[in-house]
Amino acid sequence: MGKSMKWYKVLDDASELPEGRVMSVTAGHQGICLTHFEGQYSALDNRCPHQGGPLGEGSIENGLLRCPWHGWDYHPCTGKAPGYDDGVDTFLTKVEDGAVFVGLEEEAPHQTTISDVMVETMTNWGVNKVFGMVGHSNLGFADAMRRAEEAGKLNFYGIRHEGAAAFAASAYGKLTGKPAACFSIAGPGATNLFTGLWDAKVDRAPILALTGQVATQVVGTGNFQEVDLVRAFSTVAEFNHRVQNNSKHSELMSLAVKHAILRRDVSHLTFPDEVQELPAPANSKSQTPEGRITPIQIAPPKESLDKAIDMLKESKRPVIIVGHGARFNMDAIIAFAESINAPVMTTFKGKGQIPDNHPLGCGVLGRSGTPIASWFMNEADLLCVFGASFSNHTGITDHKPTIQVDFDPLALSKFHKIDAAVWGEISVTVDLFKQALSDKSNSVDQRPEVAKRWAIWKSEKAKRMLDDHGQGVSSIAIFEAMNKLAPEDAVMCVDVGNNAYSFGRYFESRSHTFLMSGYLGSIGFAFPAAMGAWAAVGDSRPVIAVAGDGGFCQYLAEMTTAVKYNMPIKLILLNNSELGKISKEQRAGEFDVWATDLSNPNFADYANSCGALGIRVEKKEDLEDAMKQVLDHKGPAMLEVIADVSLI
């Protein structure tokens, strides 16, 4: 029994296609070259059989339709190539009420593809946020994600640059501890992901990279956009595989996601063009994480645990230092700190993991920190460090007796000898510490000293607030306004540069969460990261990005992405027309200041032109009212502040 015919309207008004012209239209999923020749409307397959050229972009010359790619000729009505036995298929047409219709047989039901099985497995494992760009070498996998999105199982965010996609997915992983995916075509699209993937890798954030690839048969021939992606990703990806037609497809996706979660690292899968649309093998089923992933709440070895407990019992002035790796265990750590009267300070990456107004909160250590944190570290007789790396940027001294707790044994004693290196999951270890020290701590109550040091620092900040060179708003004024107005539960995404140092020093955290490009220190992180943060929290929490003019310009076009998806991100942009941090480093190194000045647009006008709200402030007295307008705005918005580069 033959299939039924379905008619598709492809042109509302037949007069839109004049005599002797052609155009590309679509009927269902079929590309059509619609022709108007000798008074007749005809429909040809739009794909030239030789190189795939779009015939609808060609032209009728001397009574023949010429392919725009390589000049092959076809009859505009019959699709035949004069003098040859090849041609293109034709389809029925009709004109009714001035409109043109094309008739096609009813499409067969969709047959499950390899991509469908892998996308379903991916979403079953909880990877349901994808940032990326659809292109010619990833169309089959993209189509599978489209079906998943229509079924309510996935959200896809089409970005303007693949680097932003990787940063957004990295930020999502840092915030949630779960992987999001970034998605690209072969060649340049895939290589654009690298910076964001390295950011995730060095900050131990789970992430899944999905790349298209040219057809397997042309790999190694110098084909257009051909890059050996498995080899290229070998340095950044912990799990790194090419999908083949005979792969165990659901197993491959399960392993990719599992590696990302358990190793807190990068997983990469690349999909050759011809594999993406292949029918899934018989009995091919998607997988779930049920029974496939183990709990990770491991207890530390007794020897190192006992040594750490003995050190804690003897200490009179212990302090606790937390890094980004402790972010999901802070309730237990703060309760432990309260039980032993220990001040708590953070690395810059760990900013906000304890509120600055907590009686034991001491702010941030190091060059982006406060004098409070460094004072208590120097006065301590024991450092108890959770989830921090001890790299030079953390500011953690190596001259004090130290306990280090980390889930990764390679992170322990990485840069120098540690007195008690404790390998264990942080929450389990903290509970064991607390149980062992119940009523056995000899530490003094340091809360009055914490309050005193905060009072000294706030007095110093009040003096700095008076500084004004008449060349723009000072950084401290900007962040003091944010202290008053930023919602207490906002997710704060910060860039690198002087804006970040001032942010770490002057912004006082409450219930905020902070995201930054930590060990990679990549400029341009803040705004794409805010997109990833919004994908994680939706409208349940405000999302604020803080960036300098140099950083924002890296991914300036993503403002249009925020508008497209109505992401209510608020950007506080410090515009000093300079790469101020680099100028500072040039002076410190006794170099001439060179090539750090910037030529900028009016960023507020740019935001408005994108469909967001943009407000520009040049005077301190206008700052708070403008910031309130931006923070209260219902959609994406930018506050551009003309900042004094010397007042950081």
Residue 318 pLDDT: 96
Task: Output the six-digit token pair for 571.
Answer: 């950007």
Q: Which residue has the higher pLDDT, 439 or 82?
A: 82
Cβ atoms of 164 and 555 closer than 8 Å: yes
Residues whose CB falls within 8 Å of the CB of residue 518, separated by 6 or more in sequence, listed in order? 202, 203, 324, 348, 349
Residues whose CB falls within 8 Å of the CB of residue 531, separated by 6 or more in sequence, listed in order? 131, 157, 159, 164, 168, 171, 558, 561, 562, 567, 569
**Burial (CB count within 10 angstroms: exposed 0-12, middle 13-18, buried 19+), residue 281:** middle
Task: Output the six-digit token pair for 314.
Answer: 């003897």
Model confidence pLDDT, tens digit, residues 363-385: 999 888 889 999 999 999 999 99
How far is residue 645's CA from residue 524's CA, in Å, rounded to a whole number? Answer: 19
Q: CA geometry: angle at 469 spanning 465 and 475, to 5°? A: 45
Is CATH 3.40.630.10 the classification given to domain 5-105? no
Q: Which CATH architecture has domain 114-276?
A: 3-Layer(aba) Sandwich (3.40)
Indicate the SS3 state at residue 325: helix
Model confidence pLDDT, tens digit, residues 5-51: 999 999 999 999 999 999 999 999 999 999 999 999 999 999 999 98
Going by the DSSP 8-state scheme, the letter that residue 122 receives in this structure is H
CA atoms within 13 A on the CB side of 443: 29
How far is residue 570's CA from residue 638's CA, in Å, rounded to a whole number? Answer: 6
Model confidence pLDDT, tens digit, residues 238-251: 999 999 999 999 99
Model confidence pLDDT, tens digit, residues 571-617: 999 999 999 999 999 999 999 999 999 999 999 999 999 999 999 99
Residue 627 reports pLDDT greater than 60: yes
Q: Which residue has the higher pLDDT, 491 or 83?
A: 491
3-state helix/strand/coil string of 43-77: EEECECCCCCCEHHHCEEECCEEECCCCCCEECCC
* DSSP codes joined into one string, 569-631: -EEEEEE-SB-HHHHHHHHHTTPPP-S-B-----HHHHHHHHTSEEEEE-SGGGHHHHHHHHH
Residues whose CB falls within 8 Å of the CB of residue 176, separated by 6 or more in sequence, listed in order? 536
Task: Output the six-digit token pair for 274.
Answer: 């011809």
Q: Give the residue-averaged pLDDT of 182-194.
A: 97
Q: What number does CATH give the domain 302-449?
A: 3.40.50.1220
How far is residue 403's CA from residue 383's CA, in Å, rounded to a whole number? Answer: 6
pTM of the predicted structure, to 2 decimals: 0.93
Model confidence pLDDT, tens digit, residues 528-576: 999 999 999 999 999 999 999 999 999 999 999 999 999 999 999 999 9
How far is residue 323's CA from residue 396's CA, in Å, rounded to a whole number? Answer: 10
Q: What is the percent of the chain with per-residue pLDDT over 90, rounded to a whole number?
A: 86
Q: CA geometry: angle at 400 spanning 355 and 404, to 5°? A: 60
Residue with tokens 């890094």: 323
Residue 294 pLDDT: 85
Q: CA geometry: angle at 11 spanning 7 and 12, to 5°? A: 100
Kindly report the number of other CB atoms within 10 A of residue 68's CB atom. Answer: 15
CA distance readout (Å), 434 to 164, 296, 313, 441: 42, 20, 11, 10
Looking at domain 465-642, its CATH superfamily turns out to be: Thiamin diphosphate (ThDP)-binding fold, Pyr/PP domains (3.40.50.970)
Cβ atoms of 531 and 567 closer than 8 Å: yes
Q: Distance between the two ends of the chain, CA-based, in angstroms? A: 78
Indicate the SS3 state at residue 424: coil
How far is residue 564's CA from residue 398's CA, in Å, rounded to a whole number? Answer: 49
Instruction: Choose among 414, 348, 337, 427: nearest CA to 380.
Output: 337
Model confidence pLDDT, tens digit, residues 264-285: 999 999 999 999 999 999 888 9
How far is residue 349's CA from residue 22's CA, in Å, rounded to a whole number? Answer: 59
Residue 194 pLDDT: 97
Q: Dihedral through CA 535, CA 538, CA 544, CA 546, nearest 10? A: 0
Residue 438 — very low, low, confident or very high, per pLDDT cuts 50/70/90? confident
Q: What is the percent of the chain with per-residue pLDDT over 70, rounded to a whole number?
A: 100
Q: Give the residue-averaged pLDDT of 89-96.
A: 96
CA distance readout (Å), 56 to 21, 35, 41, 47, 206: 9, 8, 13, 9, 45
Instruction: Choose among 600, 605, 608, 617: nearest CA to 636.
Output: 608
How far is residue 468's CA from residue 473's CA, in Å, rounded to a whole number? Answer: 7
Q: Where are the alpha helices (DSSP H) in 213-279?
A: 229-232, 249-263, 273-276
Model confidence pLDDT, tens digit, residues 198-253: 999 999 999 999 999 988 777 777 788 888 999 999 999 999 999 999 999 999 99
Domain extent listing, the chain = 5-105, 114-276, 302-449, 465-642
For the chain, the helix, strand and coil percentages under 3-state DSSP, each to the nearest 5: 35, 25, 40
How far is residue 182's CA from residue 116's CA, in Å, rounded to a whole number? Answer: 17
Helix-helix angle 426-436:302-314, to 10 degrees:
50
Task: Output the six-digit token pair for 216.
Answer: 């397997």
Domain 114-276 matches domain 465-642 at the CATH topology level: yes
Residues whose CB falls within 8 Å of the CB of residue 353, separated by 6 or more in sequence, listed in order? 322, 326, 327, 330, 346
What mean pLDDT, rounded, does the chain reach? 94
How far is residue 405's CA from residue 388's CA, in Å, rounded to a whole number? Answer: 8
Residue 1 pLDDT: 43
**Burial (CB count within 10 angstroms: exposed 0-12, middle 13-18, buried 19+), residue 539:** exposed
What is the pairing mode between strands 21-27 and 64-66? Answer: unpaired
Q: Dihedral through CA 496, CA 497, CA 502, CA 503, nearest 10? A: -20
